[in-house]
Amino acid sequence: WLSESSYLTQKIDYIELSRPEPIPESIVVYVNQEAIHDWSYVEESNIVQLGFVPGYGAVVEVGYNVYVN
């Protein structure tokens, strides 16, 4: 499922996830519909930290599964 999608109007290097407790192994990240692997999940702040800064107008998408209690 697509959890987050962002059309960048400012330069940022992270995406804050809207759902708590994602399954880290399930996280996938796309920039302009291309899968990327230069990122890490930061559990303490529930963000995906990119290893680079996408350009203006880039579409960043993050998908993941969450634990269900």
Stretch 15-35: mean pLDDT: 94
> Alpha-carbon distance 1 to 55, whole Å?
24
- Among 5-9, 24-28, 50-54, 58-62, which is the least confidently predicted range? 5-9
Q: What is the pLDDT of residues 29-41, one digit of tens each?
A: 999 999 999 999 9
CA separation for the pair 41, 43 (Å, rounded): 6
**Which residue bears the tokens 């996408």?**
54
For the entire predicted model, the pTM comes to 0.82
Evaluated on CA atoms 23, 4, 31, 38, the torsion sign reads negative
Confidence at residue 68, expressed as pLDDT on a 0 to 100 scale: 85
